[in-house]
Structure 1
Amino acid sequence: MRQIGLPPLVGFLAAGFLFSATGAEATPLLDELADAGVLLLLFAVGLKLRLQNLFRIEVWGTALLHLAVMAIITGTTLHLLADLPWSVAMILGVALGFSSTVLAAKMLEFRRELRSFHGRVAIGILIVQDLIAVGLLATMGGASPSPWALLVLLALPLMRPILSWLLDQIGHDELLVLFGAVMAIGAGGWLFHLVGLSHELGALALGAVLAEHKRAQELSNAIWSLKEFLLIGFFLSIGLSGLPTVETLLLALVVTALLPIKAILFFFLLLGFGLRARTSYLAALGLASYSEFGLIIAAVATESGLIDAQWLVFAALIVALSFAIGAPLNRYAHHLFEGLEKRLERLERKQRHPDDSPISFGSAEMAVIGMGRAGTGAYDYLRDQGHNVVGIDNDPAKIESHRAEGRKVVFGDLEDPLLSDSVAGGRLRTIMITVPDAEAKRLAARQLRRRGYDGLLSATYKHPDERDSIFESGYDLTYNYFAEAGTGFAASTLEAVESEQLN
């Protein structure tokens, strides 16, 4: 799939349907592994979550209005085409109004945009939807929350000091991975399920409890490989849910055709709350899918006798179709926006959201974009040499940390045209880019040069095959910090040796 530009998850979905066509079925072990992968993914999302984002009107307002409208549209479609009773059609309509937390989180994580503004808005909307889904499952005959559920929720803030202390005591290798797995699958998944709450919500909540910890990013990186491996089981299991009848397939195609309406509605709602066209577009595209909660709700409705078993296959099929469509679209989201930018920007409101406003760099003449370890080192060196430098990052928590340490750091998204416009109209003459995503660096260079920036543009790169394409996109200088780190290490060692010999 990578060879034709599609994410691997599309291949895993296709493999699942191929296995299903041969008569294979999902095993309990595969289902357990798939569930564990989802819990680890949501735990990783929680590690990047700021709970205050949920209380923004653009988050809960968009989530509630969108769900209500899409439930009516989808429910009416199912009632008319499948001759379902209104009660059943509306249950499925609400279920299909949800967006996939797994797909959205996976694609945002893939593009390293979980903490960008549109990423935070999208994840906030998904969490509100998940909370509604938990209530819906309880009313349909799913596991109702026990009286202990409220106690577990109230205990979450009290758990932070204990869990933070444990994380401080753990090393950097296997124990850190084990800690993450236990938190996601055990403390989050199993404990929440025990008291009748969604175990997906539990994993997300446990991650959020640790989001402010200084090792949150390290923990997220540690569980990455395990999470990616287990998620293969999730995408395979969707394809293995069964093969549809011709009638079910046709109906699934019709309902899948509603995805553009779902995306457009998200886009205009977010625009209505004052977000820019780009922010609204990226968030809407990430949310334009059908949710794995649709599978869960269909399963509970089937067990309760509300609908026939064929609707479980229907739910699996439309989730798979929406993933297969949404994954490649999200992969090329920024490229697609370039072609639509002028037309979509004309739809923006004049009054901007305060978090989505133009960027000011003050009197700075040099900028470092991406304030991780490499970016911070570059910033400190330039500042110590007397240069007027500004740091730029898309992670609000990281920005706060840098500001507390006396650095001048502002919010900015490398792939956002707003950043390029702000640079073109400012005093910056040198820009150093240290973000790891090669495609983001290439896109940023094209945008900066197109908008008239003619200053020095330099970037780091990891892999040798990235160097030429980075140069071709408009950079004046590239730097492989893995290779140069070795050079610097050797130079420092030789300097120490020569100093000893002189003494």
Structure 2
Amino acid sequence: MAAVLAVAAIVAFIAHRARQPLIVAFIVVGVIVGPSLLGWVEEAGTLELLAEIGIAILLFLVGLKLDIRLVKSIGRVALVTGLGQVLFTSLVGFGLALLFGMPVVLAAYVAVALTFSSTIIIVKLLSDKRELDELHGRIALGFLIVQDIVVIVVMIALSSFGSERDGPLWEQIAAVLLAAVALIGGLAVAMRWVLPRLLRLVASSQELLIVCCIAWAVAVAALTDYLGFSVEVGAFLAGFALASTRFRESIASSLAGLRDFLLLFFFIELGAQLDFSSIGAQVPAALAFSAFVLIGNPLIVLAIMGVMGYPKRVSFLAGLAVAQISEFSLILVALGRDLGHVDNDTVGLVTLVGMITIGASTYMILYSKPLFAVLEPFLGIFERRRTINVSVPEPKAYDVIVFGHGRFGRRLIEEFATLGYSVLVVDWDPYAEISLDNPALADRVALVYGDASNGEFPDILPLGSAKWIVSTIPNVEVNKILATSLRRHGATAPVAVTAHSEAEAGAFSREIDEKVVNLVLEPFDDAADDAIAALRAL
């Protein structure tokens, strides 16, 4: 295992330098350490266990971060484009699979696998390019969420009806529906009366919160497995049950690293199972399916959005988001293999298509605007003469982000709000509430639960709109971690931290020199209005 991880680290470094998603790198690692080359992975029992846990955590986080409000805010374009692309890609992909002589069941699996695109990869690429909040980025994220919902429904149907069950068909359907109603009813009760109270009790400790959430996910997954659904479905529902709580972002950011590490083993397992003795025969089909995904899927989105009246530039940039298949495509065919519906050759074919499309589409998205400039003269057929007003509601933005809600923090928040600035407050106390001397200012201040020492938490904050970011937490190490992670996640606003002594203030000398921190506040010496004046002078 140590040698496998060492190879994974080396290949991942090379992929990172080549600006490739790590999914491709980890599949390559599987090929290297698998029977085809080094032969280090013969019995995959441990890999399978870690891979299953990784998939379960992935689906838990998908449920946790399922943002129906984004789909609603963008409107029908997300729903129509998402469902339309899934439908047309499935139909064309099914016909293409039949042309290659595949049986109906295998053709259906391959066709459905071609329809889903990777939300994780697209969000990362668009975030790096600062395009996630642009119109095409928000539309793309909207229809990717629709795709995620569709794939979950497909997986539920497969796990419910795909396995062998005793009795007539009507009895099987009735049993599944009864189990589903009982499960959904129980989750609704837990979401309404149990989980909010339970999470408030445990959220004062970040470690306890994460342990309890994992225990909840495992319990629901075990229950769904007992009821005849899959463990993965249970993990998704467990996450969805927590999605309406104020703690969801903190939970998601804490588990993201664990998800990425464990998914490594799923992709390594897939790569290790590639049979190079038969891969030559799969190359023509893989190239044809890859060409369809890379070219056909964006054209489908272009056509749908063009009919709806969107400009060709917006349609093209959004359409590139579907120019690859996703980790869910690989999970889906792996589930089909476990159910006995598809063979290893089909899993290998879809894996090969994934490597080609993910690798190629990454560069298409990275260089999307130069690519559009080249292709623009040929895209006029996808644009109506009169385009619609393409404005959509902007995501909530804040002028100031303040970490910590203690005495100094409250004074800063009040002063900022009095000056007319909108303020987002981040605090780790689950019982924290905004208390202002002037209640009329309350609509300018919002509060979220979060752990400043979690290096991944800033990823979910609206950093792009912030004019200032202030930490009032009197802890040098936490402030160093926070400031570094803010810069790593793209924060360009001045960052101020708090110190309670000159010695603590001096500990930030390196961060000051490197412009990671712009100002050190000393609340015992600085009044809130003086601190704000110093910030405004930056």
- Counterpart of 1:311 in structure 2 is 346
1:300/1:45 Cα in 2 relative to 1: closer, same or farther (>3 Å)? closer
Alignment of 1:119-268 (within 5 A): 119-136=141-158, 138=160, 140-141=162-163, 146=176, 147-160=178-191, 161-170=193-202, 171-184=204-217, 186-244=218-276, 245-260=279-294, 261-268=296-303
**Cα displacement string for residues 391-450 of structure 1 (whole angstroms, at most 9, x for unaligned residues):** 799xxxxxxx999931189xxxxxxxxxx9xx9xxxxxx9558993657567xxxxxxxx
Check the 8 A contact 1:16/1:240 in 2, yes or no.
Answer: yes
- Counterpart of 1:452 in structure 2 is none
Q: Distance in 1 between matches of 2:46 and 2:526?
A: 57
**2:93 counterpart (56, 67, 74):** 74
Q: Distance in 1 between matches of 2:22 and 2:216?
A: 27
Q: CA deviation at 1:151?
A: 1.2
Q: Distance in 2 between matches of 1:373 and 1:405?
A: 17
Question: Are 2:537 and 1:480 aligned?
Answer: no
- Counterpart of 1:448 in structure 2 is none
Check the 8 A contact 2:82/2:144 in 1, yes or no.
Answer: no
Question: Are 2:113 and 1:89 aligned?
Answer: no
Question: Are 2:152 and 1:117 aligned?
Answer: no
Q: CA deviation at 1:219?
A: 1.7
Q: Distance in 2 between matches of 1:66 and 1:281?
A: 14
Q: CA deviation at 1:272?
A: 4.5
Q: In angstroms, what is the RMSD of aligned CA positions?
A: 4.7
Structure 1 residues 290-299 or 204-213, which shifts more?
Answer: 290-299
- Counterpart of 2:66 in structure 1 is 49
**Cα displacement string for residues 347-378 of structure 1 (whole angstroms, at most 9, x for unaligned residues):** 48632366x1589x9xxxxx955756499998
Q: Distance in 2 between matches of 1:43 and 1:480?
A: 34
1:259/1:235 Cα in 2 relative to 1: closer, same or farther (>3 Å)? same
- SS across alignment from 2:199: helix
Q: Distance in 2 between matches of 1:353 and 1:257?
A: 30
Check the 8 A contact 2:151/2:328 in 1, yes or no.
Answer: no
- Counterpart of 1:29 in structure 2 is 46
Question: Are 2:61 and 1:40 aligned?
Answer: no
Q: CA deviation at 1:86?
A: 4.8
Alignment of 1:458-469 (within 5 A): 458-460=493-495
Q: Distance in 1 between matches of 2:145 and 2:30?
A: 27
Amino acid at match of 2:486: P
Q: Structure 2: where are the runs of 5+ without partners?
A: 1-12, 166-171, 426-432, 435-439, 447-463, 471-484, 498-507, 528-538
Structure 1 residues 30-39 or 293-302, which shifts more?
Answer: 293-302
Q: CA deviation at 1:216?
A: 2.0
Structure 1 residues 28-37 or 2-11, which shifts more?
Answer: 2-11
Q: Distance in 1 between matches of 2:237 and 2:310?
A: 27
Check the 8 A contact 1:76/1:90 in 2, yes or no.
Answer: no
Check the 8 A contact 2:51/2:265 in 1, yes or no.
Answer: yes
Q: Distance in 2 between matches of 1:439 and 1:291?
A: 24
Check the 8 A contact 2:309/2:383 in 1, yes or no.
Answer: no
Q: Distance in 1 between matches of 2:31 and 2:155?
A: 27
Amino acid at match of 2:389: R
State the TM-score, normalized to the length of structure 1: 0.68
1:134/1:358 Cα in 2 relative to 1: closer, same or farther (>3 Å)? closer
1:90/1:124 Cα in 2 relative to 1: closer, same or farther (>3 Å)? closer
Amino acid at match of 1:127: I
- Counterpart of 2:368 in structure 1 is 336
Check the 8 A contact 1:68/1:94 in 2, yes or no.
Answer: no
Check the 8 A contact 1:38/1:102 in 2, yes or no.
Answer: no
**Cα displacement string for residues 448-471 of structure 1 (whole angstroms, at most 9, x for unaligned residues):** xxxxxxxxxx54499999999xxx
- SS across alignment from 1:35: helix
Question: Are 2:304 and 1:269 aligned?
Answer: yes
1:71/1:48 Cα in 2 relative to 1: closer, same or farther (>3 Å)? closer
- Percent identical pairs in the alignment equals 21
1:156/1:437 Cα in 2 relative to 1: closer, same or farther (>3 Å)? farther
1:106/1:3 Cα in 2 relative to 1: closer, same or farther (>3 Å)? closer
The number of equivalent residue pairs is 429
- Counterpart of 1:351 in structure 2 is 388
Amino acid at match of 1:122: L
- Counterpart of 2:530 in structure 1 is none
State the TM-score, normalized to the length of structure 2: 0.64
Q: Distance in 1 between matches of 2:131 and 2:163?
A: 37
Q: CA deviation at 1:329?
A: 5.1
Q: Distance in 1 between matches of 2:298 and 2:43?
A: 31
Q: CA deviation at 1:127?
A: 1.1
- SS across alignment from 2:20: coil
Q: Distance in 1 between matches of 2:124 and 2:213?
A: 18
Q: Distance in 2 between matches of 1:162 and 1:279?
A: 44
Amino acid at match of 1:42: L
Amino acid at match of 2:25: G
Question: Are 2:32 and 1:18 aligned?
Answer: yes
Q: Structure 1: where are the runs of 5+ without partners?
A: 362-366, 394-400, 410-419, 424-429, 443-457, 469-477, 497-503
Q: Distance in 2 between matches of 1:433 and 1:329?
A: 34
Check the 8 A contact 2:54/2:262 in 1, yes or no.
Answer: yes
**Cα displacement string for residues 325-354 of structure 1 (whole angstroms, at most 9, x for unaligned residues):** 345655x3xx63476389589948632366
Q: CA deviation at 1:97?
A: 2.3
Q: CA deviation at 1:131?
A: 0.9
Check the 8 A contact 2:117/2:325 in 1, yes or no.
Answer: yes
Q: Distance in 2 between matches of 1:267 and 1:374?
A: 46
Q: CA deviation at 1:240?
A: 1.8
**Cα displacement string for residues 290-319 of structure 1 (whole angstroms, at most 9, x for unaligned residues):** 244544554565577765542222123223
Q: CA deviation at 1:50?
A: 3.4
Q: Distance in 1 between matches of 2:63 and 2:390?
A: 24
Amino acid at match of 2:138: F
Q: CA deviation at 1:281?
A: 5.3
Q: CA deviation at 1:324?
A: 3.3
Q: CA deviation at 1:223?
A: 2.0
- SS across alignment from 1:92: helix
Q: Distance in 1 between matches of 2:444 and 2:201?
A: 29
Alignment of 1:258-297 (within 5 A): 258-260=292-294, 261-270=296-305, 272-273=307-308, 284-295=319-330, 297=332
Q: Distance in 2 between matches of 1:466 and 1:234?
A: 39
- SS across alignment from 1:258: helix
1:234/1:45 Cα in 2 relative to 1: closer, same or farther (>3 Å)? same
Check the 8 A contact 2:117/2:144 in 1, yes or no.
Answer: no
- Counterpart of 1:6 in structure 2 is 20
Check the 8 A contact 1:368/1:379 in 2, yes or no.
Answer: no
Check the 8 A contact 1:7/1:328 in 2, yes or no.
Answer: no
Amino acid at match of 1:96: L
Structure 1 residues 141-150 or 126-135, which shifts more?
Answer: 141-150
